[in-house]
């Protein structure tokens, strides 16, 4: 049962309450739209996250296999010697985008400009090239997953918050306003009836005199 | 205990704030696709002063769908209008290039009516999957 809002029973208060009710109903429509959009985006992101996780697991397993073969072919010491010199700077562009009021991070891995990976092509085999290629794929998938995972968290939190607002509007605020408006209307009608009865009584008294 | 009137005022303010947030991601100025492709970090400034970053991959994908003249005329991000509790969404198109892009992505013919292409939620999901950063939602209902 919605609670009555404590207001003075005046016409001005009634007008104010009606305005508040109209605003609350308009807000409710928009918040509901927003909730449906956020849910749609959340489901889409969840699907993509599952796909990206699967891709990541596959990519890492392939990369480890390739690295194991390369290690077996060259030996630990020789491979470590080659890989020490192979560090390259990566360029990740980080920004944000907005989905219905939620700021979502956006990451993009820049193109690796140098085709050379830093190790000697003479002393290494194509096994290492293959392992390096697969590792780059892992990196791309990791960045993609990082973006999706964070988006999923942010969207989830926002959905929770929006749901609370929708529920508050639907089950508390709007019913309370409607009940109070109804109560004030009944009060004014009662006053009118009292006024009419009093006038009739006065008329009867005057007629008797 | 909170008095009813200040409580009501707080409530009204929070609701108004909620509505301001919804359209905060709208761009102050839209940029053409060719301009964005020429930028090192393709972006636009949002109405709340924040930066909206475009993914180069998406820009290149759209560029592959249209010719060079159309790239100069296509303004991004494309705006998707959402009405109150409506089932469908509308893509605002000032030129017929948006129509061409949308119909190619959705793989179906689209017809703009009064500068808007009407699409339904499943199509909207597909469109957003392909164009995450190059489309933006607009909540059009008049509020205050």
CB pairs under 8 A between A and B: 91
Q: Touching check for B125 and chain A: CB below 8 Å? A: yes
- What percent of chain A clears pLDDT 90, i.e. is strictly above it? 38
Asked if residue A131 is part of any domain, the answer here is yes
Residue whose pair of structure tokens reads 């509020």 in the numeric block: B143
CA distance A120 to A112: 18
Asked if residue A4 is part of any domain, the answer here is no
| pTM for the predicted model, two decimal places | 0.81
Asked if residue A5 is part of any domain, the answer here is no
Identify the closest residue of chain B to A105 by CA–CA distance.
Answer: B53
**∠ CA(A48), CA(A52), CA(A53), 5° rounding?**
120
Asked if residue B94 is part of any domain, the answer here is yes
Asked if residue B108 is part of any domain, the answer here is yes
Is B139 within 8 Å of A100 when comparing Cβ atoms? Answer: yes
Asked if residue A1 is part of any domain, the answer here is no
pLDDT at residue A203 above 90?
A: yes
Tokens encoding A174: 């709007």
Residues of A in contact with B12 (CB under 8 A): 20, 23
CA distance B135 to B123: 13
CA distance A107 to A92: 7
Asked if residue A177 is part of any domain, the answer here is yes
* pLDDT tens, position by position, B97-109: 888 888 888 888 8
Q: How many domains does chain A have?
A: 1
* pLDDT tens, position by position, A112-132: 655 556 666 666 677 777 888
Asked if residue A141 is part of any domain, the answer here is yes
Domain that holds residue B91: 22-139
What string of pLDDT tens digits covers the 144 residues of chain B?
A: 344 556 566 666 766 677 678 778 888 888 999 999 998 889 899 888 888 889 888 999 999 998 888 888 888 888 888 875 566 777 777 778 888 888 888 888 888 888 888 888 888 888 888 888 898 888 876 544
A166, with CB counted inside 10 A (0-12, 13-18, 19+), is middle
Is A37 within 8 Å of B137 when comparing Cβ atoms? Answer: yes
Beta-carbon contacts of A48 under 8 Å, excluding residues fewer than 6 positions away, are A148, B129
Asked if residue B103 is part of any domain, the answer here is yes
CA distance A130 to B100: 41
Q: Give B113's DSSP letter.
A: B
Q: How many domains does chain B have?
A: 1
Residues of B in contact with A106 (CB under 8 A): 53, 55, 133
Element (H, E) at B118: strand B116-120
Asked if residue B16 is part of any domain, the answer here is no
Asked if residue A2 is part of any domain, the answer here is no
Q: Give A169's DSSP letter.
A: I
What is the predicted ipTM? 0.81
Identify the closest residue of chain A to B140 by CA–CA distance.
Answer: A30
* pLDDT tens, position by position, A37-74: 899 999 999 999 999 999 999 999 998 898 888 888 87
Asked if residue B74 is part of any domain, the answer here is yes
CATH of the domain at A90: 1.10.287.3240
Asked if residue A112 is part of any domain, the answer here is yes
Asked if residue B34 is part of any domain, the answer here is yes
């Amino acid at each position: 049962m919605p609670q009555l809002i404590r207001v003075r029973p005046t016409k001005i208060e009634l007008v104010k309450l009606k305005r508040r009710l109209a605003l609350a109903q308009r807000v409710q429509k928009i918040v509901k739209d927003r909730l449906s959009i956020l849910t749609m985006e959340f489901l889409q992101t969840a699907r993509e996250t599952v796909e990206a996780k699967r891709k990541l697991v596959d990519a890492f397993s392939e990369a480890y296999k390739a690295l194991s073969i390369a290690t077996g072919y060259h030996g630990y010491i020789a491979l470590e010697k080659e890989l020490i010199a192979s560090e390259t700077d990566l360029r990740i562009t980080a920004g944000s985008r907005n989905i219905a009021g939620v700021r979502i991070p956006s990451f993009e891995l820049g193109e690796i400009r140098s085709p050379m990976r830093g190790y000697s092509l003479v002393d290494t085999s194509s096994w290492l090239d293959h392992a390096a290629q697969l590792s780059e794929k892992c990196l791309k998938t990791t960045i993609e997953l990082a973006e999706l995972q964070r988006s999923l968290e942010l969207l989830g939190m926002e959905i929770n918050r929006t749901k609370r607002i929708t529920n508050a509007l639907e089950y508390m605020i709007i019913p309370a306003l409607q009940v109070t408006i109804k109560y004030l209307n009944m009060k004014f009608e009662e006053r009118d009836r009292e006024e009419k009865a009093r006038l009739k009584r006065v008329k009867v008294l005057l007629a008797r005199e | 205990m909170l008095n009813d009137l200040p409580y009501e005022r707080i409530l009204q303010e929070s609701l108004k704030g909620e509505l301001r947030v919804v359209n905060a991601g709208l761009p102050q100025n839209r940029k053409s696709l060719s301009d964005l492709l020429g930028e090192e970090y393709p972006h636009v400034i949002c109405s709340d002063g924040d930066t909206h970053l475009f993914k180069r991959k998406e820009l290149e994908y759209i560029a592959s769908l249209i010719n060079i003249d159309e790239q100069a005329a296509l303004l991004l991000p494309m705006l998707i209008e959402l009405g109150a509790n409506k089932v469908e969404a509308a893509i605002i198109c000032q030129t017929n290039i948006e129509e061409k892009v949308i119909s190619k992505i959705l793989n179906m013919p689209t017809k703009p009516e009064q500068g808007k292409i009407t699409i339904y939620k499943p199509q909207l999901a597909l469109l957003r999957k392909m164009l995450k950063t190059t489309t933006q939602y607009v909540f059009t209902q008049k509020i205050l």
